[in-house]
Amino acid sequence: MRMGSRPLFVFAVLYVIFLYAPAMLLPLFSFNDATMIAFPLNGFTLRWYEGLLGNAQLMAAFKNSLVVALCAAAISTCIGICGAKAVTHRKLRGGKAAVGLIMLPLVVPSIVVGISLLMLARHVLDIELSLWTVGIGHVLLCVPFSMLVMMSRLEGFDRSLEEASLDLGQSRWGTFRRVTLPLALPGIVASFLLSFTVSLDEFVLAFFLAGNETTLPIYIFSQLRFPSRLPDVLALGSCILLGSCLLVLFAEWLRRRGIQSAFSRGI
Amino acid sequence: MVLELERPMISLRHVSRHYGPIRAVDDVTLDIAAGEFFSLLGPSGCGKTTLLRMLGGFDAPTFGEVFIDGKSMAGVPANRRPTNMVFQNYALFPHLSIRENVGYGLLNRKMTKAAVADRVAQALEMIRLGHLADRWPHQLSGGQRQRVALARALVCEPKVLLLDEPLGALDKKLRAEMQSELRRIQRAVGITFVLVTHDQEEALTLSDRIAIMSAGRPLQIGDPRSLYEAPENRAVAEFIGEMNFFRAEVQAVRPEGTSVRVDGLGDLTVATRGTVAAGSAVTLAMRPEKIVLSWERPPHTDGMIEGRVVSETYLGDRCQYGVAVANHAAPIRVVTQNNMPGAGRQQDRPVWLDYPREALLLLTM
Ligand SMILES: Nc1ncnc2c1ncn2[C@@H]1O[C@H](COP(=O)(O)OP(=O)(O)OP(=O)(O)O)[C@@H](O)[C@H]1O
Ligand SMILES: [Mg+2]
């Protein structure tokens, strides 16, 4: 290593520690046999993890979050594909303005979106708050991410492939199904995963829009008031950490395998 | 060559395509016969691709009408036209194997799986790539991809095959190979080919007829020999091959020919072409290889031009000389075969140029 880069190296190491050390405390204390979060450690235990499985409320919240995230990711990805296909088509007028409007939820504070959606639901449309309202809020939030991912994917690929498909006798729909979709698949997977994670840990909108059934972030927040429940939350956090690591690895594996071999057979 | 155009495969009637103020294709009317190898030749931006895309159904004329096999193509989308296209960048589907690429056009046909497999195998055999059927497009060389694109289009048995500079991305040797391959396949299947190219050699060697395009219009349509030997105007003469041009003034128009006074050549009588009137300014054109160059003073120099070599360009099998003559601004270009002794390094030597009178072409435009 050159001498000049030494301070930078130290900075980089410190930065990585700063980023990941707090997260590493989570699994560490989740195996610690004590309710108090403090050093020295008290001994190894799995009882917090067992407690997780026994905690019906927590499992319900977790299930709610999964369902909402899966639905929101699926819906926003579909909208993202169609929207991106439309705005990357060269004939569309006002495409730029449409993109701007769709991207707005990225910059508008979610608290504003949350309040306005709450007002809309309760006072204008008069519908009960439920997981549905949370899901709708999350779709609104996830569509910009899906659009961004799908637009960059569709802009990158060659129009003449679609023309060739038309030329070879396929209808517009057949072309979309046999050429556009398979080629956009890596983008679709990326958009789905991104939307899924955005929805899974979203707090503000869920807080405003949830009815009796809570999602995981809200449940966790409500548990922080009880010190005795803290180790449960730690165990849960560790599981989520592991889950998201696996998700990222899976996404990367998919990307590396690429579209070439993975998805051609069934098409 | 006389072509039977009683019932043309393709008819364009006053076809125009405007992009805002740009007239990419400007009032084109032409017929292409069934089974013909027809080329659109012209410089970049003259509207060749636009014209081809209107035949394929990817673009619609602003004015005018396209007929294919007697039917109007107005409102008929690409997937319902009896045409197939070979794209300039090949446009092979990267997520499908070579076999699946070639079979793509048969997916919607009412054919048994076995019949499709048969047709695909036949097509791959025709382009001699049967052994690569299970590879992916990115694993093929440029020339092989080109052939796959060709097979993929031909397997659909179109009435018209459209090719947009299909050989543009290949190196010279491979291109020559692919040209003879194209010609062989076209003869074998008997399909009408419409080829877009800006390579005049390619157009000359492959085509039955060529349309020379400029600024959205065909300047002249004809078979390769007549285009080369008898261009109708200066633009065509300039575009195809090399040409010497001489300014001239018409002295008189007689039944046996037109008398002209030519800068650098003197008074001559040449065959009348087009409408000329005494006193008008015209251009005479002559191909460099029609001129006979003598290094020694010939016994009779009547009708010859005396000049001095000012430049020479070695071309391998040929040499091109620039010969300065009195009363003519630009040096006259002369091409000789490199089979004569004494050729080479002849700068500044006096030479005598002779030419057959019929090599001089009268151009009015
Ligand atoms: N979609 C378009 N919008 C605006 N102008 C266009 C469009 N497509 C083509 N043109 C214009 O039309 C003219 C003809 O284009 P075209 O692509 O047919 O040329 P070409 O003869 O195929 O040239 P090349 O040999 O470079 O491929 C050009 O001036 C081009 O700029
Ligand atoms: Mg072109």
How far is it, in rounded angstroms, from Cα B180 to Cα B169? Answer: 16
Do B284 and B363 meet the contact criterion of CB atoms below 8 Å apart? yes
Residue A209 phi, psi dihedral angles, 5° rounding: -105, -10
Q: Is the pLDDT of residue A262 over 60?
A: no
CATH of domain A53-264: 1.10.3720.10
Residue B272 is assigned to a structural domain of this protein: yes
pLDDT number for residue B342: 58
Residue B89 is assigned to a structural domain of this protein: yes
Residue of B28, B48, B87, B239 to mutate, ligand 1, most atoms within 8 A of C-beta:
B48
Q: What is the mean pLDDT of chain A?
A: 82
pLDDT number for residue A2: 56
Query: Are residues B96 and A169, on separate chains, in Cβ contact within 8 Å?
Result: no
Residue B294 is assigned to a structural domain of this protein: no
Query: Are residues B91 and A260, on separate chains, in Cβ contact within 8 Å?
Result: no
Tell whether omega for the bond before B331 is within 30 degrees of 0, i.e. cis. Answer: no
How far is it, in rounded angstroms, from Cα A156 to Cα A152? Answer: 6
Whether B38 and B123 map to the same domain: the answer is: yes
B281 near A CB under 8 A: no
Residues B267-311 pLDDT 10s: 888 888 878 788 888 888 899 888 888 888 888 877 788 888 888
Structure tokens at B283: 């251009």
Starting at the edge strand that comes first in sequence, how are the strands of the sheet with B350-354 ordered?
A: B292-294, B350-354, B305-314, B318-325, B332-337
Whether B45 and B158 map to the same domain: the answer is: yes
- Please give the distance, rounded to the nearest whole angstrom, from the Cα atom of residue B90 to the centre of ligand 2: 13
Starting at the edge strand that comes first in sequence, how are the strands of the sheet with B281-286 ordered?
A: B266-270, B257-262, B244-254, B281-286, B361-363
Q: Is the pLDDT of residue A117 over 80?
A: yes
pLDDT number for residue B51: 93
Cα angle at B205 between B241 and B200, to 5 degrees? 35
Structure tokens at B351: 């030479």
pLDDT number for residue B93: 92
How far is it, in rounded angstroms, from Cα A180 to Cα B182? Answer: 30
Which residues in chain B come in under a pLDDT of 50? 1-4
Whether B166 and B260 map to the same domain: the answer is: no
Query: What number does the ligand 1 atom closest to the CA of B40 have?
Result: 21
Q: Does B21 sit in the ligand 1 pocket, CB within 6 Å?
A: no
What's the number of domains chain B is made of? 2
pLDDT number for residue B225: 92
Residue B261 is assigned to a structural domain of this protein: yes
Do B203 and B220 meet the contact criterion of CB atoms below 8 Å apart? no
Whether B203 and B324 map to the same domain: the answer is: no
Sequence ranges of the domains in chain A: 53-264
Do B298 and B304 meet the contact criterion of CB atoms below 8 Å apart? yes
pLDDT number for residue B341: 60
Whether B230 and B306 map to the same domain: the answer is: no
- Domain of B224? 4-237
pLDDT number for residue A116: 87
Query: Whole-prediction pTM value?
Result: 0.77
Whether B194 and B139 map to the same domain: the answer is: yes
Q: Does B168 sit in the ligand 1 pocket, CB within 6 Å?
A: no
pLDDT number for residue B1: 38
In the predicted model, what is the mean pLDDT of residues A260-264? Answer: 43
A183 near B CB under 8 A: yes
Which of A131-135, A228-232, B114-118, B242-246 has the least mean pLDDT? A228-232
Whether B90 and B232 map to the same domain: the answer is: yes
Query: Are residues B79 and A166, on separate chains, in Cβ contact within 8 Å?
Result: yes
In the predicted model, what is the mean pLDDT of residues A91-103? Answer: 81
CA distances (Å), origin A132, targets A136, A158, A218: 6, 39, 16
Q: Does B47 sit in the ligand 1 pocket, CB within 6 Å?
A: yes
In the predicted model, what is the mean pLDDT of residues A56-83? Answer: 89
How far is it, in rounded angstroms, from Cα A180 to Cα A166? Answer: 12
Q: How many CB atoms lie within 10 A of CB A112?
A: 11
Q: Does B22 sit in the ligand 1 pocket, CB within 6 Å?
A: yes
A156 near B CB under 8 A: no
Whether B105 and B191 map to the same domain: the answer is: yes
- Please give the distance, rounded to the nearest whole angstrom, from the Cα atom of residue B104 to the centre of ligand 1: 29
Q: Is the pLDDT of residue A260 over 80?
A: no
Whether B246 and B230 map to the same domain: the answer is: no
Query: Are residues B136 and A260, on separate chains, in Cβ contact within 8 Å?
Result: yes
- Put simply, the chain A residues between 229 and 258 with a CB less than 8 A from any chain B CB are none
Whether B75 and B218 map to the same domain: the answer is: yes
Buried b (16+ CB within 10 A) or exposed e, B276-290: beeeeebbbbbbbbb
Residues A233-254 pLDDT 10s: 888 888 888 888 888 788 777 7
Residue B88 is assigned to a structural domain of this protein: yes
- Banded pLDDT at A261 (limits 50, 70, 90): very low
B158 near A CB under 8 A: no
Residue B50 is assigned to a structural domain of this protein: yes
Whether B72 and B176 map to the same domain: the answer is: yes
pLDDT number for residue A258: 54
B156–chain A nearest CA distance, Å:
7
Whether B325 and B224 map to the same domain: the answer is: no
Q: Is the pLDDT of residue A263 over 60?
A: no
- B93 vs A124: which has the higher pLDDT: B93
pLDDT number for residue B5: 59
